[in-house]
Structures are given as C-alpha cells and as structure tokens.
Structure 1
Amino acid sequence: MSVLSDKPVHLYDTTLRDGTQGEGFQLSVFDKLRIAERLDGFGIDYIEGGWPGSNPKDVEFFQEAKKLKLGHAKLAAFGSTRRMNTPVEEDAQVRLLLEAETPVVTIFGKSWELHVTEVLRTTVEENIAMIYDTVAHLKKNGREVIYDAEHFFDGYKDAPQHALNTLKAAAEGGASCLVLCDTNGGTLPAEVMEICAEVQKAIPGVPVGIHTHNDCELGVANAVAAVQAGAVQVQGTINGYGERTGNCNLTSVIPILQLKMGLKVIGELEKLQDLSYFVDDVSNNPHFARAAFVGRTAFAHKGGMHVNAVQKLARSYEHIEPGAVGNEQNILVSELSGQSNILMKAEQVGLALEKGSAEAKAVLQTVKDRENEGYSYEAAGGSLELLIRRELGNYEKPFELKEYHTSFRQYRDGHNPVCEATVKLYVGEVPEYTVAEGHGVVNALDKALRAALRPFYPEISDVTLVDYKVRIIDGHDATAAKTRVLIVSSDGKENWGTVGVSENIIEASWIALVDGIDLFLQRRK
C-alpha cells in the first residue's frame, strides 16, 4: 500500500472537477489543460481532471491530457464505486476510469447508511462490497487509488461503526489514502478533529485526507483542523469554487499550512496570487477583492492611525509579509486618512512630500474636501498623484482647454445614431480644433482630445482606456444628482485610475479622462 510520506501534507486540487460544479464557473477543454499545466508548475501534488465518460468535454480532456508533460503533479480521474449487483469487471464507468490512463484514480463511495438504504436502495453488505471490489480492481490494474468517503462526517455521527467499516473496506482493497468528506459542509472544526483522530485509531497505518465544503464558511477551518488531527492530504479548489457555496479554498489553506503551521507544501508560494488571478481570468470570473491573502484589499490600509503604524512597522497591522503570497501593501486615501496615508502614497510614486509640511497639509485637506463633494481616491491613485504634483510645484500643464462640445443625433429613418465631440485647446501658443465621432459621447470626446494632442505628444497613442465606471452619488436628487466617473488607463505596463465628479455625467467623464492623459504626460516629462 502506498503511503504519502515525502511531504507533511499533500495538496489535491479538484478545480477542474468539483470546481466546475459551481454556478458561473465553466471551463473549455483548452481552459482545463491550461489550468492543469499552471497547477503543476505551482507545485500541486494531485490534479483531479474530471469524470471520464460523464460528458464529451471530460472525454476529450483525458485524451488531450495524455500529451501533457507534467513535471510534478499526478493526474487523477474521478468516478464512483461499481454499480450495485454488477461485477466490477463489467461496470462501464469503472472501465472508463481505466481507459483514461491516469496514474491515479479517485473514487467515492457511500459512508452514510442513510444514503445506502434510501438513495442507493441497497444493503449495507452490498455497499461494502462495492467499495472493496472497485478499489481492489483499480489497484490490480496498476493505479494509485484514493478513496473519497462521501458524507463521512454525517455518516459517522449517525452510525460510527458503519462509517468506519466502509473505510476499512477501501483500506483492505488497497487505497493509498482515505479522504474524509464533509460533503454537506455542516461539520464544525472540533468535530472534524475528534472524528479524524478516531479514524486513525480505528485504521492505523493508512494515510487520511480531508475534503471540505464551505456551507458554514468553515471549509478552510475544517481542513486545518483535520491536518492538526493528522490528515496528510488536503483537497480543495483554487479560489474556493465549487458546488453551492464552494469548496475548501486552496489559496487560503496553502499559506496557512506553510506560513502559520510551518508545513512546507509549496516551493514558490509567492506565485499564489498570480495563480489565483489566472484561474479567475481563464474562467471569466471577477476576482474577489476581499479574498484572504490574495485579494486586492488583503493588505489595504485606510484609517489614518493604522497607516501611521504601518509606516513605522508594517507587521503592526499585517499578519504576514504581502510579498510572501505575491501580494502587495496598498495604502488607501480617503476622508479617513491622516498625513501618513498621503506621505506613503507620495513615496510610492517617487514624490518627496515632507511630514508636517504645508504641501502635505494642503493635499490632505483637499482630499477631505473633495471626498465630501463626492470624489473617491481609493481607486483613483492617478488623480491623487496629480494633486500631489500640483501642490509640490512638480507639474507643468500640458495644454489649456478653450472649450469642448458634444452632441447626439438620433435619426428616424433607420440610420445609426451619431455621437460627435469637438475640442478646442491650446498647447503653448498653438491652437488646436478637432472633431471626432465615437460610440457614445465619452468615446467621441476621448478621440477628439487625442486627435488634438497627438501632433504635440505622439506618445499618447500608447495610452488606452481599460475601464469606465459610473456611480450616482446622491440618487434622491434624481436627474440632477451628482455623478462620479472612474476611469482606468493603461500604457501596457502599468494601470492608473482617475476620477471626476459633477452633476453632469459628461463633465465628470471629461475630468477623469483628462486626468488620465495628463498624468501619463507628467510622468513622461
């Protein structure tokens, strides 16, 4: 029997199978292959690819996966025990598991007597035989077999001896690891620890693993509890994707195991955030900003007292170094800010702002006044940098606006509507007047502004708009309400946010638009 002994805890990823059962999480065959390669490069030990034969996509995946050159991970096919009252050699699903030709096969069986009698509608004896026969058959055919004991904790709490007998059948069949599954996600950490300990007493010498769901927001906590009780394999998904509320989140449990518990499970933990973002991007899902360890706000500091302390000693408000998981410290600036927020932001962009100086006080006061008017600088670091530059005198106005005009014409003869913008400005003493059409008035304004500036600043061709967001600040004023516009610009290497506020959405858009180009030109001076 194989014993997991080369690492203190083995990581088993089921993003490609259990993760895809989550609402809104879908992957093509190509997506699954890309993620498998990335997981292998990160150092995951087992990658569960799917259920061969359950759908055409998984059939194709396992055919293509044979071409993968994995350097570390073992690929696992997933399935169930043989059907009741069917010889294992004649079971089509078991045959497909072998035809996938993966080095590892993971099967699940019923641990809860309720499921045996009410769902499978068979006998306890036949269920035990189904588990033993399937594991033994797969083992005989040269596969490493991992046994997932479905609903184990519910089954153990209902009938302990029956649940243990199912594990014994898998162990006697040759399973390399007995994975205890909290399939309904309703078990508490103290129960997980106690039951894991009891399993190891009853079945000594066989490695135990843990597979948890997050229905009580305890998926990670329960996995940690199992490891503390002796489990040597943790199953989960990247970013916690999965059925209902999701599975144990590997992007949380991995740094806990390594940084908090001192268990070496990954060689290059600093690649964690990149992996997290990669899976989100490939699956076309937004990244959760507040995710522990890897989220954009995981190391964000906003309150003035907090920032002041972080400036002196980062670990006073950071439980780990952000870089350990590939993240970074983020100092937010708002009406809650103190001078420390402003000083650290200035330092980050290479501007020398002195504590207690008139300039620092002026910037802070301007931020507070503008936030009161509806501005928000949390995601508009570009506008904040311009504000600091102006106060420091480190600013040269690239152009002088004379006027701009926008129009929208809707035709009744089936002709497409036309959005047009004109911009009049001076660059030094030279006047420029341009007209442009666009998909909407903001796009037309953007085109007209660029056309006017390009003869003087050809480098603005490198700048693109990557995001545009509008928020109504005070809706009770109805159509007269103030509007906040946030624009994110990019030069292909770096992104920066700028903000504009006005009762007029076009004016708010213009302010944010001009700030985005203005900052780019200031940095290029």
Structure 2
Amino acid sequence: MRHIEIMDTTLRDGEQTSGVSFSASEKLTIAQLLLTELKVDRIEIASARVSEGEFQAVKKITSWAAQAGFLDRVEVLTFVDGGTSVQWMMDAGAKVMNLLTKGSLNHLQHQLKKTPEQHFAEIQATIELANSKGLLVNVYLEDWSNGMRNSKEYVLRYLDFITQLPVKRVLLPDTLGVLTYWETGEYIKELVARYPNTHFDFHAHNDYDLGTANALEAVRNGIHGLHLTVNGMGERAGNAPLASVIAVLNDYQKDVKTSVCEKSLYSVSKLVETFSGFRIPANKPVVGENVFTQTAGIHADGDKKNNLYFNELMPERFGRERKYALGKTSGKANIENNLAALGIQLSDSDLKKVTQRIIELGDRKEVVTQNDLPYIISDVLDSDAIEERVQVLNYVLTHSKDLRPSVTLKISVDGEIFEEHAQGDGQYDAFMHALAIIFEKNGQKLAQLTDYAVRIPPGGESDALCETIITWNHGGKELITRGLDCDQTVSAIKATQKMLNLI
C-alpha cells in the first residue's frame, strides 16, 4: 500500500481563520497532540517573521520537538528575502523550511514585478544558503492552480529548474480554492508522470466546497502528500478538513494508507474548537455534533432492523456514539431508544402520551434531550419519576463594578439544609463555586461542565425567555440539561438543579 504523508497546517494556515489567534502554550499543546495522538506525519506551525509572539511559540514547539525526536517533522513557512527567514529559522531552532515562491506568471509579474530568471536566481541563492546552515527545504508554488490553468509553460519551466536543486518536497497549493476535481486529477497526473523522482504535496482550499473531493482526486492520481487542517480552518472558506479527508481515504481509496489515528480526530477537533473559539457546525462531517444523531423515527426503527440506515461512517471509529434525537419527527422508536438508555420502560398507552408531548415541544422549537425524559414523564403521567432530592431554596447574586461577583446560596439535600458563600468570575461561576464547596464537604463531586449554550428567540425583547442548555460529564457519561427563564443566570441555575438530581 502507498503511504500518503499528511501534513497538518492548522497552526499556520488554519490560524489565518478570521478572528483566530492561538497563544504560545495553546500552539504547543496542539502541536503535541497532532504528532503524538493524531499521529500526522508533519506539522506546519507558523510563518517566519510574523511577530515576536509567533517566534516564542515556535521556540517552545521546536524545543519540545527536539527532545521528543520530532524536530524534522516540524515545518515553518519562509520567504525569498535575502536570508532573513533563514536566520529567523536558525534563531527559532527550526530545521525544515517551506519556501514560498511564485507558481503562476500572473503572481510573478504583478506582485513581484520580476522576470522568471530573476526569481529563479533568488530562489536558488536562498536554498543554497539554507542548505549550508543545515536546513531542509520544501518549496511552495503559490497560486499553482491558476498557473496550470493560465501559464502552464511557466510552471513546467519552473519545475524543470526546481527539481534539479536540493529540495525535499514540492508543495502544490490551490491557493484560491478554484480547482474542480477533474482539473486536480489531470494536473497532478501530468506532473507525477513528468517528474517521477519528485515528492509532490497537494494543498487544497475549500472556496467551492471541493477541498475533500480535490484531495481524493490528487491521491487517486499519484500525489505523495496532503496538507489538511483540523475542522477545515483556514482563510476565507478554509482548507480541506482533516477528519473528512481521512475518512474518505480510509473508505474509498483502498490502495493507500495514512498514519492518522481516526479515534483521536474528534477529541483533537473539540480541543482546537475550544482554543480557537471557532465553532464546529453541528452538521460538520465526522466531528459535528449532529452527524451521528438519527432524528426521524423511521430511521431509528430501521436501525433495529438489520441496521438499514447505517453506512461505513460508524461513530465508534471516531470514539463517538450514535444518538437518537427527540423532537416532532422522533416517532416511537427514537423515544424507546432513549428510554432504554435510561433504563425506563413504559406501557404502550403511556408511551403514546409521552410521544405526543415531545411532538408538542418540538412544534414550539424547544430542545428536548434524553435527560429531559424523566421530567416529561413526571409531568405527563403525573408520576414521581423524578425525585427532587436536591432543591435550590434561595440565593442572593451580586454584581458590582470593580468587585468580584458573589453568591450566598441555600440548598436542601435530602431534607438537610446547607448554606455557603463564594465569589467567582461571574454570577454563575460564583454559584458553581458555592455549590462545589457544599458537595465537597459531603465528599461528593459535581459533574464537570463541558459546554454552555444560550438561546434567545430571534427578535425577542429584553424580557424574552432565555433557554440555557448545559452539557456535563459525570463519570464518563454525558448529561444535557436545560433551564428556561427571563434571566440568563437563573435559567442556568435551573439547568444545574436538574443535573444535581440526575447524578
């Protein structure tokens, strides 16, 4: 099987996502996870000369990589700048430079305003200097895709030149994300045949949502490496997404292999989401929150009958689980699956009543989760399915300028009354601190908050109802609770009380 090198460029190209900037410690953590957990072959971590902060981040990563034996797998974008980038690399402790050069005549003539001869001479001088300092050199052909479309003679002339120099890899970017998949296949096939001893990487952008398709076509036509980013981060519409491309290659390109660990794709994706603040769309393939969730009742029913609605993308491959959403299209099978997970059985008549209530809630666009079911059962069947062992009896929330928010809290646990006072970074944070103190005194731990979402109806006034949906982790199990109130903090407290009773 042919090995396809995967270079992750989340820390360089991905950081060009509007509004995203990783700290030095965040960059180090992501770099470590990419190489040790995801097991990508290489990472591109920065652009030379950008800022002092970028320089310090690169030094942190190269220092760790040198000790861990990964230094030759850490790469930096550099420039044809008379040796300034080479010196920057030496000072930062990096060993592999990805030299940015012009891959189209249009860029060369209108941005650099130079002849091919001038550009080639400067490139050669830079490569020779880098080699003399012990650096390895890969070369980017910026705007290569437009170069192949509109000035192929220049591209081939340049490749005839560069393939005679001590260059480890030639990197072919679709800089503006303009290629169709048939063009990608045609261009790659031509170059691989013309230069059989050259290692080519393909770097896809996603402007037409063709990044994954183009990456697959590049592999089918002989490319040796791919550049990808976690969550498809990158400038404009982003880059080809790592998770999608790996899944496609594993399922549809059986004659190739990569080193990437599928089971780590989701966890690394969530970490990068947290560090970047760049939210993953719920319907993002492989890593989106909804992609392994069946909503239609007919699909849930089919899952029980020879897995009629399963495909090769099984959630277990990625360390995830299949879920069955609750809403107006759920149907009996979806609700039964969720009840079974909670260990609850209902008669057919009771199940019909609960199903009808969930449909009513769905029509009102209310979110219904598995953990809401016991409350719905209690309400609909007038039963004691939920035992309110923990009750938030009273609280005083304070927020003052230049003073930390605080709370005085009074709760009842199995009839015993507890009071506590605490401060926090916000009113809800102070509430959680006070709660944690009470539970720790009783030798118990709270569930860990993993996600916090607030929804207000579009066009709502300042007194509109606010829905707070909180995701928790308790003993490795995910809980989702929600609260509804005109006050956001109070709605969060209501969601928290539900969590306390569930655990």
Q: 1:382 to 1:125 in 2, by over 3 A?
A: same
- Normalised to the residue count of structure 1, the TM-score between the two structures is 0.80
The aligned counterpart of 2:480 is 497
One-letter code aligned to 2:479:
W
Q: Secondary structure at the residue paired with 2:222?
A: coil
Distance (Å, rounded) in 2 between the aligned partners of 1:489 and 1:422: 22
The aligned counterpart of 2:499 is 516
Q: 1:185 to 1:392 in 2, by over 3 A?
A: same
**Structure 1 residue 132: Cα displacement:** 3.6
**Structure 1 residue 397: Cα displacement:** 2.4
The aligned counterpart of 1:66 is 63
Q: 1:208 to 1:283 in 2, by over 3 A?
A: same
The aligned counterpart of 1:50 is 46
Pairs within 5 Å for 1:307-456? 307-314=300-307, 316-349=309-342, 351-353=343-345, 357-372=348-363, 375-377=366-368, 380-387=369-376, 395=385, 397-399=387-389
Indicate whether 1:32 and 2:27 are aligned. yes
Structure 2 contact 390–500 (Cα < 8 Å) conserved: no
Q: CA RMSD in A?
A: 4.0
Distance (Å, rounded) in 1 between the aligned partners of 2:175 and 2:403: 58
Distance (Å, rounded) in 2 between the aligned partners of 1:447 and 1:131: 59
Aligned partner (choices 210, 213, 228) of residue 236 of structure 1: 228
Pairs within 5 Å for 1:92-111? 92-97=84-89, 100=92, 102-111=94-103
The aligned counterpart of 1:17 is 12
Distance (Å, rounded) in 2 between the aligned partners of 1:103 and 1:10: 18
Distance (Å, rounded) in 2 between the aligned partners of 1:67 and 1:410: 43
The aligned counterpart of 2:186 is 194
Q: 1:135 to 1:342 in 2, by over 3 A?
A: same
Q: Which has the larger radius of gyration?
A: 1
Distance (Å, rounded) in 2 between the aligned partners of 1:375 and 1:136: 64
**Contiguous gaps of at least 5 residues in structure 2:** none
Indicate whether 1:294 and 2:287 are aligned. yes
Aligned partner (choices 118, 127, 142) of residue 126 of structure 1: 118
Q: Out of 507-516 and 229-238, give the one that drifted further.
A: 507-516
The aligned counterpart of 1:471 is 455
One-letter code aligned to 1:47:
I
Q: Secondary structure at the residue paired with 1:147?
A: strand
One-letter code aligned to 1:179:
L
The aligned counterpart of 1:306 is 299
The aligned counterpart of 1:278 is 271
One-letter code aligned to 1:60:
Q
Q: Secondary structure at the residue paired with 2:269?
A: helix
Structure 1 contact 180–211 (Cα < 8 Å) conserved: yes
The aligned counterpart of 1:75 is 74
Distance (Å, rounded) in 2 between the aligned partners of 1:169 and 1:370: 67
The aligned counterpart of 1:170 is 162
**Contiguous gaps of at least 5 residues in structure 1:** 1-5, 84-90, 521-525
**Structure 1 residue 149: Cα displacement:** 1.0
Aligned residues: 496
The aligned counterpart of 2:257 is 264
Structure 1 contact 487–516 (Cα < 8 Å) conserved: no
Structure 1 contact 14–235 (Cα < 8 Å) conserved: yes
One-letter code aligned to 1:365:
Q
Q: 1:370 to 1:20 in 2, by over 3 A?
A: closer
Distance (Å, rounded) in 1 between the aligned partners of 2:403 and 2:103: 67
Q: Secondary structure at the residue paired with 2:240?
A: coil
Q: 1:150 to 1:518 in 2, by over 3 A?
A: same
> For each residue in 1:442-479, what CA deviation from the matched residue of structure 2 results, as whole angstroms up to 9, or x when unmatched?
7899899999x979x94665346666554344857x57
Taking only the aligned residue pairs, the percentage that are identical comes to: 23
Structure 1 contact 304–336 (Cα < 8 Å) conserved: yes
Structure 1 contact 386–519 (Cα < 8 Å) conserved: no
Q: Out of 128-137 and 116-125, give the one that drifted further.
A: 128-137
Q: 1:250 to 1:372 in 2, by over 3 A?
A: closer
Distance (Å, rounded) in 2 between the aligned partners of 1:284 and 1:187: 29
**Structure 1 residue 200: Cα displacement:** 2.4
Distance (Å, rounded) in 2 between the aligned partners of 1:67 and 1:480: 52
- Normalised to the residue count of structure 2, the TM-score between the two structures is 0.83
